[in-house]
A and B are shown apart, each in its own frame.
Chain A
Amino acid sequence: MSKDFLTPTALPLTPIERRIYAHDNVGELAPFTFEMLILEFDHRYARTDLIAAITDVLTNHPVFTAQFETHTGGAVTRHDTGQTPLVMHEAANLDFIRAHAAYHSPDLTNHPAYADLWPNDSTGQILTLVLHPILGDDATFETIETALWAALDLRNAPDALPAPAADPQTQNARNIWRELMNNHQVARLPHRYVTNDQVTPTSKRLTHQITLPPQVSSFVGDDGMAAPLVAALGIVLSRYGAQDALRFAVALPPHTADRRSTDLRPVCLTPDLTAPFGNAVHLATHALTAAQPVSSETLVQDQLAHADADPYPMGAISLYLRPRRDLPEGICHHQRPMPCSAEELVLTAEDTPQGIVIHADADAAMFEPDLIDRFLQHLQRVLRSGLDQPALPVGRMPLIADAELDTLSAPYPDGTPIDQRATHEIIAAHARTTPDKIAVICGADRLTHSQLDAHANALAHRLHAAGVKAETPVAILIERGAAAITAILAVLKAGGAYIPVEPDHPSSRNHHILTDAGVAVVLTRRSFRDRLPKGLAAQIICLDDLDDAPRSDAPDVRIHPDQLAYVMYTSGSTGKPKGVAVEHGPLSHHNQATARVYEMSAESRELPFLPFSSDGGHERWMVPLMVGGSVVIPDGPLWTPEQTLGAMREHGCNNASIPTTYLQQLAEWAEDTGTAPPMRLYSFGGEGLAQSTFDLLSSALNANTLINGYGPTETIMTPMVWKVAAGTRFQGTYAPLGRAVGNRRVYVLDEEMMPCPQSVVGEIYLGGTGVARGYVGQPQVTADRFIPDPFGPALDGTSGARLYRTGDQGRWREDGTVEFVGRVDLQIKINGYRIEPGEIEAALLGEPDVTEALVLLREDGTAKRLIGYVTGPAAGNEDTLRRALESKLPKHMLPEAVVVLDKMPTNPNAKLDRAALPLPEMRSRQTQGVAAASKSEKQVLTLWRDLLGLPDLGVTDNFFAMGGSSLLALKAIVGMRKQWQNVPLTVADFFDAPTVRGICERITQGGQTGRNAITLRASGTRPRLYCFPGLLVSTREYLRLTDYLGPDQPVTGFLCHSLNEEKQLNVSVSDVVADYVDHIRRESAGAPVAFLGWSWGGLLAWEAARQLQNEVDLKMLGMVDVCDLGTDFSPGVAPFFAPGELARLEADLQTWLARTQMRAQWDQLINAMDPECYLQFLRFIGNEAEPLPFDGPEISSREHTFWVLIDNALVFRQHKLMPLDVPVASFSAGDSLSRGLNLMDWRKWSARATPAEIVSGTNHLHIIGDPAFHDRFRMRLNAAFTAS
């Protein structure tokens, strides 16, 4: 601010005061609120003494004498000339008093502070003080109290503290902070899941608090609260967010606080989870004194200079520290102000006589309330651990109590006693109880329970005679069907372990399986013999060769529960498939528990579609037979949906199990034809199941119950299920995994094997008895993946139990079920951020037409590329999709490219085949550039090739798609205009015809160029939105907003005149706008329209509205960060020069003018200045830190920009704004308020203008591209268009 207004009695505002003033000026104080203090004095304080003391303070304390004056150009000064009266009242109770105080509305013109005194119902007095936030906060109230105690002779006033060191806004301090802040990521708690249609921002907050118990309070508070609390917060946030280097904001109590002084500083930590708590405290102490404090306003402005700044530049989490405030005897607080709710989570730690109270204030839209509550508990637990176990590494501090872990990890409740028989024994029992009931249907084959048992017995005896006994591996190379099931049961009855081998699988895979496990016997058919490896050392038994008579007795074989039942080979994403060995006991228990969870009975008839090479496929025939039901097996591997649904109907199935990849086809067919038979239950699983697919299943498949199953082969078939009624919607990217089944537990653990809090992503581990023995012949890999279970002993009393490390990422949801997030080995870490592909996938799934989405980090040589794959939209939409993501995701999460596929590639096991996903071309053309066909094309092509640095460029290539920016486009225009001097050529022409061929056509045809408006979107039924450009702004800046507003919103952008080659000096605002007005008149006379003006464009839009009154139906005038002239050039503000300074500046000016190439234009401009303006110009030059530029006259040069700014100031100076009766929606960037820019308050110019909406986390330049702004703007536009 110019020093012209400062005098000894007129003080400048501090940065925070300036910002609050700006907020008040545009009509939106939030997040600041009125600050209220309520003190009660008991009977020992005589009323007259009290009144005298209070009056003394009201007269002398700067808070109560403050007055503010605004000067031309927006400068504000603070004076000591105000008065705050003490208002006396009659007796009242506390509630009434509080309500009365809450009703006060402090303002900056007359009444910034209120003081009221009330006799209480009992014999005391109550004093209420209400301040406008510009005057102070809680720390300021403390100084007021101190003055009050002194006036009451209770305590001496403290010695005047030295004035605080001036804010070292030195570049060096700022650089240090910027580097620190850029190297540490903003820490935040997990946000609740929201879908696109849930976005209605509210300012609702939720609050929780805890009081630390006495020993913990002492531990924290004895040496100063700051370091232990910061340490604990750092540890908990690290466990919540798994960031290596994180930051949040801390406000220490200020040294002096006559004025509003509490300020946040960033605390940057790199927690060491292997070190004990003391070390964390040490780090915290260091972080709190890391660098010289710089005001948060300055730090935020620095951060917001970059478009990809976090929307909470100081941090999403703040911690305010409030030391003990001892009041004199007989005085108590009834109300103290809390810090403003500016961050996602605001924590206040206060030292009270009851202990340290930690209060949390959180954005209600972002967080589950229970999350905040748990977070506070975890904070307390960490402090308690730090006290009780000082040597414990902080990464090993438990956040979750045992009782909580018990509940979270628990399986579906199941009290039924376990049947100790093996699977095949339970199945065989039905041969006696329901012998003639159909057990298996496959094609034309029918087997009753007794037939199945008898055939299996016969084969079992043969196997027994062939030497099969306990632990003997027997391969079954038979197609899925009745014979395969019979063979499997036979192997089990003989005591062996079966290994299913899919005849149609690649021979290399099958050969590996057949030789890996030491297979002793192979059961197969003659037709498959040639698929066996040559020289296999095993007995080969072909079913075709057998004609043993069925028998009712099984071989006399005792099955030990720990002996092998089967070995199934994993699909193995890397290396050779491994054989997973599963024992009888766990298998049988699993099947029994599953039968109960699926509520199956003898009535069950299931159609299992899963292949026999997956263990889930076997579960789905074993379980129905175990309960005495039946199964319908597809004959042939590739049934169509029509066949599948037909079979279900024909055979009266009531259950079906389908792999997820096939389910989409089945459901789509069912939806198209309406042929889904009614079913009790569908189960599926295998990959992440998206909401859209799940919804389709619910609506199309006519089922009561849906089960999403999950589980690696190593944890036996389907260890976890999510079982819900059809039509249930879930919150999340993928359908949840649910809970464990049977004697199992599921855990979500971090890298230290500590349980993760709910919502925090970790790795899924499965424990209990339902895990495999391990990998055949691979003791090391087995030991690596099956690890000792640390929780079993405490939770279940088990001993020597194991956990299987799944390699899948997941988290516990609010309801305690588990959600799948992605694969650990596909986890993506870029620049210190851990990226959840699921989030990006969810954003893609939210786009129209997209049915499936997958995001991966692909290796391309040495480069790693984040690529998104989708199915659904037509090919060619890649760029649109990617642009859509720009408005939904932070920059570091944007995939480099999006690839559209017809369908996701799958491997023979019907699982996703990641390796088969194509890599997109690097940004380059598919075909060779088309050559020039004429002289003009050749000239232009050469020019463009030069500018873009692309020697291969063709005449049909799109300038912008090939990497051209708006600035390069301007240079291209300059070049082309040299060749065609009489043809007007603008950026708008470029936009419409961004190819060499296209633009040459226009030039040579004549009369087609010189447009001053760009159609950003032509189509749509809504009223057209006209966008008026800021100074030196390319209309392309409005592209993102246009995309966001969607295909039904037509948008036109006007060109900025300053970007034209011709410099027309001193054009008035109305002249500048005349062209635009003509265009609007031609296009939209009489029609409803909306205007949007950004910065200088706002004034242009206002003038256009004025010129077009009654000619168009203006529904809304959107004003975005529109500023009035600052003090530099406001008329009536005489600048101040030190003695001799004016002459020196004039000499400097002349020297500079002699050197510049824009001399003629500068002379023109200076000659147009009136004397006062000329002096302001010299003052402006004198204030510039950098030397004057003379790199003009190119449009991109600093000098050109400078000239345009001064020219614009001259135009602005002469312009008189008139009131208009138009509806105005105004928006201000948070950073502009922070800088105290002289933002316009449109309520002064139109009665239909509302207070400004403040978009924080962005600045003047970036607001137009900011997603938060887009969202708000769209809401206002919708409201304006629907209001009639």
Chain B
Amino acid sequence: MTQPNETQILWRVLRNCEGRYSIARVTHLIPEGWTPVGADAPRTICMDRIAELWTDMRPLSVQEAVA
């Protein structure tokens, strides 16, 4: 299979209920418990977005408990 140009594959940033982030191809269904954050974009853009948003890597439950 010829690999399409890397920049043409679109990805999306996902976040789950614990506040953890991840990334998946748009051609894959979003599994239950994950929601997209922001628009579909090439992988590098998605990764940049994750770096911006995921500054506190503690799950939400811990953030609340400690506060």
Chain A interface residues (CB < 8 Å from chain B):
244, 270-274, 393, 396, 469-471, 560, 562-564, 581, 583, 753, 773-774, 776-777, 779-780, 782-784, 786-790, 792-793, 798-802
Chain A residues lying within 8 Å of B13, measured Cβ to Cβ, are: 783
Known: A272-B2, A784-B23. 14 other contacts (CB 8 A): A274-B27, A470-B66, A471-B58, A560-B62, A562-B18, A562-B62, A753-B28, A783-B23, A783-B50, A788-B14, A788-B30, A789-B31, A800-B16, A800-B31
Contact assessment for B21 and A783 in the assembled complex, using a CB-CB cutoff below 8 Å? yes
B60's nearest neighbour on chain A, judged by CB, is A562
Please measure, in the bound complex, the distance between the C-alpha atom of A774 and the C-alpha atom of B51, giving whole angstroms.
14
Chain B residues numbered 34-67 whose CB sits less than 8 Å from any CB in chain A: 34, 47, 50-51, 54-55, 57-59, 61-62, 65-66
Known: A272-B1, A581-B57, A783-B22. A798 touches B33 (CB 8 A): yes
Known: A244-B1, A799-B17. A470 touches B22 (CB 8 A): no
Known: A470-B66, A471-B62. A800 touches B32 (CB 8 A): yes
Least CB distance from B38 to A in Å reads: 13
Please measure, in the bound complex, the distance between the C-alpha atom of A273 and the C-alpha atom of B32, giving whole angstroms.
25
Question: Which DSSP category, helix, strand, loop or mixed, fits chain B's interface?
Answer: loop
Contact assessment for A783 and B1 in the assembled complex, using a CB-CB cutoff below 8 Å? no
Chain B residues lying within 8 Å of A800, measured Cβ to Cβ, are: 16-18, 20, 31-34
Please measure, in the bound complex, the distance between the C-alpha atom of A562 and the C-alpha atom of B31, giving whole angstroms.
22
Chain B residues lying within 8 Å of A783, measured Cβ to Cβ, are: 13, 21-23, 47, 50, 54
A790 CB contact (under 8 Å) in B18, B29, B54, B58: B29
Nearest first, the 7 closest Cβ-Cβ pairs linking A and B are A800-B33, A799-B33, A800-B16, A779-B54, A793-B32, A790-B31, A560-B65
Please measure, in the bound complex, the distance between the C-alpha atom of A560 and the C-alpha atom of B59, giving whole angstroms.
11
Known: A274-B1, A562-B62, A788-B31. A780 touches B50 (CB 8 A): yes
Known: A471-B62, A471-B66, A801-B33. A788 touches B24 (CB 8 A): yes
Chain B residues lying within 8 Å of A790, measured Cβ to Cβ, are: 28-29, 31
Chain B residues lying within 8 Å of A563, measured Cβ to Cβ, are: 58, 62, 65-66
Interface size on B, residues (CB 8 A): 33
Contact assessment for A774 and B34 in the assembled complex, using a CB-CB cutoff below 8 Å? no
Contact assessment for B54 and A787 in the assembled complex, using a CB-CB cutoff below 8 Å? no
Contact assessment for A786 and B22 in the assembled complex, using a CB-CB cutoff below 8 Å? yes
Contact assessment for A560 and B47 in the assembled complex, using a CB-CB cutoff below 8 Å? no
B32 CB contact (under 8 Å) in A393, A779, A782, A799: A799
Which residue among A244, A270, A583, A783 has the maximum number of chain B CB atoms within 10 Å of its CB? A783
Contact assessment for A396 and B27 in the assembled complex, using a CB-CB cutoff below 8 Å? yes
Please measure, in the bound complex, the distance between the C-alpha atom of A783 and the C-alpha atom of B32, giving whole angstroms.
17
Chain A residues lying within 8 Å of B20, measured Cβ to Cβ, are: 773-774, 786, 800, 802
A245's nearest neighbour on chain B, judged by CB, is B1
Chain B residues lying within 8 Å of A244, measured Cβ to Cβ, are: 1
B32's nearest neighbour on chain A, judged by CB, is A793
Least CB distance from A161 to B in Å reads: 40
Chain B residues lying within 8 Å of A792, measured Cβ to Cβ, are: 31-32
Contact assessment for A562 and B59 in the assembled complex, using a CB-CB cutoff below 8 Å? yes
B48's nearest neighbour on chain A, judged by CB, is A780
Contact assessment for B54 and A793 in the assembled complex, using a CB-CB cutoff below 8 Å? no
Known: A272-B1, A788-B14. A470 touches B28 (CB 8 A): no
Which residue among A563, A774, A800 has the maximum number of chain B CB atoms within 10 Å of its CB? A800
Contact assessment for B33 and A779 in the assembled complex, using a CB-CB cutoff below 8 Å? no
Least CB distance from A498 to B in Å reads: 17
Please measure, in the bound complex, the distance between the C-alpha atom of A270 and the C-alpha atom of B3, giving whole angstroms.
12
Chain A residues lying within 8 Å of B55, measured Cβ to Cβ, are: 779
Known: A783-B23, A798-B33. A560 touches B61 (CB 8 A): yes
Which residue among B2, B20, B55 has the maximum number of chain A CB atoms within 10 Å of its CB? B20
Please measure, in the bound complex, the distance between the C-alpha atom of A789 and the C-alpha atom of B30, giving whole angstroms.
9
Please measure, in the bound complex, the distance between the C-alpha atom of A783 and the C-alpha atom of B20, giving whole angstroms.
8
Contact assessment for A271 and B1 in the assembled complex, using a CB-CB cutoff below 8 Å? yes
Known: A471-B62, A779-B57, A799-B33. A393 touches B18 (CB 8 A): no
Please measure, in the bound complex, the distance between the C-alpha atom of A737 and the C-alpha atom of B28, giving whole angstroms.
29
Chain B residues lying within 8 Å of A469, measured Cβ to Cβ, are: 66
Contact assessment for B47 and A780 in the assembled complex, using a CB-CB cutoff below 8 Å? yes
Known: A272-B1, A780-B50. A788 touches B59 (CB 8 A): no
Please measure, in the bound complex, the distance between the C-alpha atom of A790 and the C-alpha atom of B14, giving whole angstroms.
13
Please measure, in the bound complex, the distance between the C-alpha atom of A798 and the C-alpha atom of B16, giving whole angstroms.
12
Least CB distance from A287 to B in Å reads: 15
Least CB distance from B36 to A in Å reads: 11
Please measure, in the bound complex, the distance between the C-alpha atom of A471 and the C-alpha atom of B24, giving whole angstroms.
29
